[in-house]
A and B are shown apart, each in its own frame.
Chain A
């Protein structure tokens, strides 16, 4: 009976995979490409780990690699819940299944896929790098299987325990942010690796000492211990991993039982007590009265509460900081890179109405003249400036400090402000002229069929913004080249600020009548998401 269930679930998983691939050639290509990349990567790290064989730090590296992998397994289901439909046990809730055979079936099914394949490669590499002698090789076979099972069981237990979160609105919000976490995580790993490259592997040894006793890394460490003849330690480490596996399986099985026998979440949600009042009175008191303050407040709330807007902002803030400052830290940067922050943040002014989605109708119903449209756009620009202006200033000052180029601070700040003004002006105009929809689900930022529109809007706008800043750039070059000009570069700061403000006002003035005239067209364009 239970073997029947296991093979059914494994076949279900295979047909889900197959059907997904059959659906579109693009998906098939993506799958094959990722398979090739993963296999290449797996082969590379396998070679790398084998090359480490005999190195004094081999055990540390192996143990760390296994732990990072396990961490990945634990975190992945939280960020990519839709990746595997068999991960959601509530789909099976109407079937008459007992938890024990179900756990066995789901665990087996989890072993099918690219992820487990890559994990096996990595673990195999790890044990090869540390295994010496027949006892170690014998242990290695057990260790790899054990470590893999711990990883899979960990992922399943985490997913089952958080299934309520994963299928709720908060979970879907989290998934939108996941790409960001991966991107920033990659940056950190990159930075850490570079640090390590200069400082050497030995500084990791203390961490390795601890991780040796943490499952599933302890299984791999057992191979090392066996190879060195400390059979007692090895057995203890192996037992620790086995115990962890048993514990995780019990936990998972219990959660499954609870999930399959308790009422479904829509019932529970309705019974939830209402949340506390949101503190916002403070914010609105600081903002100007009338439409301006109302628009600013809504825009600022959306930066924090709307996952798409938040992701866009965090990306802009992070890249706007990383490019100039990291370049400066590595000594390869120019102080003028600091303008990057203003440019990145200015992008947020683009497609303002697309960020509203079809809720734009609420705004459209209250705009009946160019004056209303102007106040609306100005409010949005002010909300943006509230974050952007201090941030761009901060990035510029930090970059200057790292490079120690204080005399150039005024001119770079002036350039930043002028660029920011130009971005706001072109952004407002493009919002009115080239609006497009932002789908609320998934990672895409443009609705199908509107990609061209988005490119025109953003790249056309950025080129125009660069052209609009040309007078300031020319003035900067002239003062730097002209004899005695250096003494007067401080003038570029007030000049840039004034120029930026002027050009923003001009852009808003031009965009407002266009917005007021094209309300139905804008609404249609932003309602496709």
Chain B
């Protein structure tokens, strides 16, 4: 996989991407190049179009217009090359929940055409590292949110993809599981692979990523190495609020009755 061609080539190249749902424009013309070998954060408020963008980039949703290339292959014209090279953890879609954690991994790996023995070996290690070994024979339907995200991550990593797309991987996850997921992802990018993940938690993105793209209302507002995007602002949160134009909005005196002993 990671042939080390790293810095020069783009992991993902998006041109003129549009998606409309009825009247509403979810993604309004995105042009973006994500560098390979980085930990990339796609940030933006709820409804910015992050999930729609990631779905179109991974081939799960057909764009109205535009092209997407992943590691040099067109997602829609060359799915054989692309699907083998990417791992996906979508948000809001189910897993095969009536399988146990181990069965789900065995199923996914074999569906991807990996040899059975290899799948079982990798599954054991992933279950171990992700702290799911104790729950591996429990049905996924009985898993907690954190456990679901972890088993989804394991399924996405099983075939050792070059680029990993994660939609809100830390949403609703407890701190312990979040730390576990983080550890696995850091190890994975250290080997030269690319992670693209979406989030609306700026602190998290700031501490994990070295490259960010800021999205709002279906467009990319800023992108680049994190220091560049942050600019002169003290934190990414501040920079982000300025970018999306939500700065300086304070409650004012409207809630002056709130708090304090008076009724």
Interface residues of chain A, those whose CB is within 8 Å of chain B, are 169, 269-270, 274-278, 280, 289-291, 293-295, 297-298, 301-302, 305-306, 356-359, 361-369, 519-521, 523-524, 527
Q: Does A280 contact B103, Cβ atoms closer than 8 Å? A: yes
* Cα-based distance from A304 to B66 in the complex (angstroms): 43
Instruction: Identify which of B58, B83, B94, B110 contacts A291 (C-beta below 8 A).
Output: B110
Q: Does A362 contact B108, Cβ atoms closer than 8 Å? A: yes
Q: A275-B138, A361-B60 are contacts. A301–B111 as well, Cβ < 8 Å?
A: no
* Cα-based distance from A437 to B39 in the complex (angstroms): 36
Instruction: Identify which of B80, B94, B107, B144 contacts A294 (C-beta below 8 A).
Output: B107
Q: Does B61 contact A524, Cβ atoms closer than 8 Å? A: yes
Question: How distant is B148 from chain A, measured CB to nearest CB, in Å?
Answer: 12
Question: How distant is A445 from chain B, measured CB to nearest CB, in Å?
Answer: 17
Q: Does B62 contact A278, Cβ atoms closer than 8 Å? A: no
Instruction: Identify which of A295, A298, A359 contacts B94 (C-beta below 8 A).
Output: A359
Assess whether B222 is interfacial by the CB under 8 Å rule. Answer: no
Chain B: residues with Cβ within 8 Å of the partner, total of 38
Interface residues of chain B, those whose CB is within 8 Å of chain A, are 58-62, 79-80, 82-84, 88, 90, 92-100, 103, 107-108, 110-113, 116, 134-135, 137-139, 141-142, 144, 155
* Cα-based distance from A130 to B139 in the complex (angstroms): 54
Q: A295-B111, A524-B61 are contacts. A359–B96 as well, Cβ < 8 Å?
A: yes
* Cα-based distance from A18 to B103 in the complex (angstroms): 47
* Cα-based distance from A521 to B55 in the complex (angstroms): 12
Residues of chain B with a CB closer than 8 A to A368's CB:
79-80, 82-84
Residues of chain B with a CB closer than 8 A to A290's CB:
110, 113
Q: Look across to chain A and name the residue whose beta carbon is closest to the beta carbon of B134.
A: A274
Q: Does A361 contact B93, Cβ atoms closer than 8 Å? A: yes
A selection of 14 A-B contacts at a CB cut-off of 8 Å is A269-B142, A270-B144, A274-B138, A277-B137, A301-B103, A305-B99, A358-B94, A359-B95, A361-B90, A365-B58, A365-B88, A367-B83, A523-B60, A527-B93
Instruction: Identify which of A269, A294, A369, A527 contacts B111 (C-beta below 8 A).
Output: A294
Question: How distant is A361 from chain B, measured CB to nearest CB, in Å?
Answer: 5
Q: Look across to chain A and name the residue whose beta carbon is closest to the beta carbon of B98.
A: A305
Question: How distant is B86 from chain A, measured CB to nearest CB, in Å?
Answer: 8
Question: How distant is A259 from chain B, measured CB to nearest CB, in Å?
Answer: 22
* Cα-based distance from A294 to B144 in the complex (angstroms): 26
Question: How distant is A409 from chain B, measured CB to nearest CB, in Å?
Answer: 38
Question: How distant is B111 from chain A, measured CB to nearest CB, in Å?
Answer: 4
Q: Look across to chain B and name the residue whose beta carbon is closest to the beta carbon of A289.
A: B116
Residues of chain B with a CB closer than 8 A to A295's CB:
111
* Cα-based distance from A274 to B144 in the complex (angstroms): 14
Residues of chain B with a CB closer than 8 A to A278's CB:
100, 103, 137
Instruction: Identify which of B83, B97, B137 contacts A359 (C-beta below 8 A).
Output: B97
Instruction: Identify which of A270, A275, A521 contacts B62 (C-beta below 8 A).
Output: A521
Q: Does A291 contact B113, Cβ atoms closer than 8 Å? A: yes
Q: Does A276 contact B137, Cβ atoms closer than 8 Å? A: yes
